[in-house]
Structure 1
Amino acid sequence: MKGFHIQIDTADDLTGIKFALYDNDERVMPQIDTVNFDYLVDADYSGEHTLELTYYREGLPEVESDRINFYSGNFTLPTLTLEVTATVY
């Protein structure tokens, strides 16, 4: 497995605050209660991916902040047209 190590830095009081992680608009980690965590992905994690974070008060997950986009990446190899020549010497 591969993954991301995510650290949230803030000077705000986070007592009673939880976070949710989205990967390509899918809520993949709904109840994060720490500012330092790992998000593991399958070995075949490919394509365009956008990671976003939201926060909410504990006990009120339906009242969620706007998404904060913090990472975008393309995990797909480009399509190349290659001509390879081997020379024997």
Structure 2
Amino acid sequence: MYFLKNYLSKLRVYLNILVDLVKKIKKKCHSSKLQKCNFNLDTNTNQRFDSKYYNYLLSKRSILILDQILFLTIIRAKYTKFGDL
């Protein structure tokens, strides 16, 4: 019972966050210009950090070990597919 109650309370929080996000997007982007509207979904980190982090990912010089594992997995998958031919 506790698990279900805890799950439902978290679900309510997530739904409230989504509703708030939709309201913000509608306020910023008019329905006629919705396809051309840019909206920053991550309001907690600044653009400079995001850009540097993204560039590190592209150059495979990431800081986090999980990112390095991701690239190794992608590289292994490419070689595995090549070997299967």
TMscore range, shorter length: under 0.3
Bigger Rg, which one:
2
- Decide which structure has greater helix share: 2
Q: TM-score, normalised by structure 2?
A: 0.22
